[in-house]
Amino acid sequence: MEKTKVGIIGLGGISQLVHLPVLNKQPNVTIEAICDLTKTRLKSVGDKYNISKRLSNYKDLLDLEEIEAVIIATPTNTHSEIALESLKAGKDVLVEKPMARTSEEAKIIHEAAKKYKKHLMIGMNLRYRPDSMLLKSLINSKDLGDLFLIKCSWIKPQSSSSRWFINKSISGGGVIMDLGIVILDLALWLYDFIPIKSVSVQKFHHKLKEVEDSAVGFIRLENGAVISFEVSWSLYSETNGFSLTAFGTKGSALLNPLRAYKRIDSLSLDYSTSATSSKTNLFRKSYENELKHFIGSVRGNNPVISSSENAMMRMHLLDAIYKSAESNKEIYL
């Protein structure tokens, strides 16, 4: 079998926890080269996965003609530059979320992908969870009726202890950038990207000064449907994970894992799957499905789902969210 040759730029937690082990097990993929500024990471990761090409300058990795695709898992302030250079070099690109710090930076990457006619995918793994995909099927089939409310929440400790993560000039923001963007992407995907009318958000700095550690918000869609959300690195939660409930005119469904209920007259039918996967397995499977989808796009087997077009819309939403939080006003898009 012909293998797709991939380069990984950035060997932080997400690469070591997900990208490397998942791609290493794919029969149609070979990790051709890795890149990181930290020499100890290069050595430990290279030794573990038997990768001989270990580079400290990402441009040296892009010069390798055999590499067809790259995964960018570096601090957010570097995404625009590295993605642009990768696309110029003729590589297909997967950028870990968020796409960039601002919509202006995101636009540069998006326009470059169109100019160089390369695949550009943004990491939004919640869409690729098996339970999320089942919920999407239920919604599309109208088993829940017309969707009118999605409530979503993600409360967990800070995702990274790296200093850049809470430096706004590097990360672009705090918990909204880290957790909010992902659950809002999932909610908007479930709504099939109905245009957004307005946002109203409050953010809090209980433990951090430069970036927010908690936020709550309300998003109105053009058709009258709404999304309410809450995200936090500092609040206490027994579940320590994300949750989502979708309410339709005929029924409701909950995620993590999936439970679904449909009302028929005075009866309530339980659509929940009999065997529910553990949250850990659903997390692992989401990244496995996402990376398989990316490789499939590179090989020409499927279109990109979490595309830069979607990401541009999310970045405009983030701009409005921060504007609302800073002005204490509802912002109309």
Instruction: Write the pLDDT tens digit of every residue in 131-156.
Output: 999 999 999 999 999 999 999 999 99
pLDDT at residue 244, rounded to an integer? 96
Per-residue pLDDT, 272: 62
Angle between helices 181-190 and 130-140 (to 10 degrees): 30
Average pLDDT over residues 158-187: 94
Identify the pLDDT of residue 267: 53
Sign, CA torsion 276/280/286/292: negative
For the chain, domain boundaries: 4-125, 126-287+313-332
- Asked if 101 and 77 touch (Cβ cutoff 8 Å), the reply is yes
Distance CA 47, CA 64 (A): 20
Of the pLDDT bands very low, low, confident and very high (cuts 50, 70, 90), residue 273 is low
Confidence of residue 161 (pLDDT cuts 50, 70, 90): confident
55-64, 174-183, 300-309, 317-326: least confident range? 300-309
What topology is assigned to 4-125 in CATH? Rossmann fold (3.40.50)
Q: Please give the average per-residue pLDDT across 292-313, as a whole number.
A: 93
pLDDT at 308 over 60: yes
CA distance 93 to 61: 13
DSSP letter, residue 277:
P
Q: Is the peptide bond before 257 cis (omega within 30 degrees of 0)?
A: yes
241 pLDDT band (50/70/90 cuts)?
A: confident
Mean pLDDT of 274-300: 86
Measured between its terminal Cα atoms, the distance across the chain in Å is: 48
Stretch 74-84: mean pLDDT = 97
Separation CA 114–CA 6 (nearest Å)? 21
Is the pLDDT assigned to residue 274 strictly greater than 60? no
* Cβ proximity of 208 and 177 under 8 Å: no
Q: How confident is the model at residue 1 (pLDDT cuts 50, 70, 90)?
A: low
| Sequence-separated (6 or more) residues with CB below 8 Å from residue 175 | 158, 211, 212, 213, 214, 215, 231, 232, 233
How would residue 123 be classed by pLDDT, with cut points 50, 70 and 90? Answer: very high
Q: How confident is the model at residue 194 (pLDDT cuts 50, 70, 90)?
A: very high
pLDDT of residue 277: 63
Would the pLDDT of 231 be above 90?
yes
Coil/strand/helix, residue 284: helix
Which segment of 98-112, 157-171, 220-234, 273-287 scores lowest on mean pLDDT?
A: 273-287
Pair type for strands 29-35 and 53-55: parallel
Q: Average pLDDT, whole number, for the chain?
A: 93
* pLDDT-based confidence at residue 262 (cuts at 50, 70, 90): confident
Nearest partner of 103 among 333, 314, 321, 331, judged by Cα: 314
- The count of other CB atoms within 10 Å of the CB of residue 175 is 28
Return the CATH architecture of domain 126-287+313-332.
2-Layer Sandwich (3.30)
What pLDDT sits at residue 312? 92
Q: H/E element holding 186?
A: helix 181-190
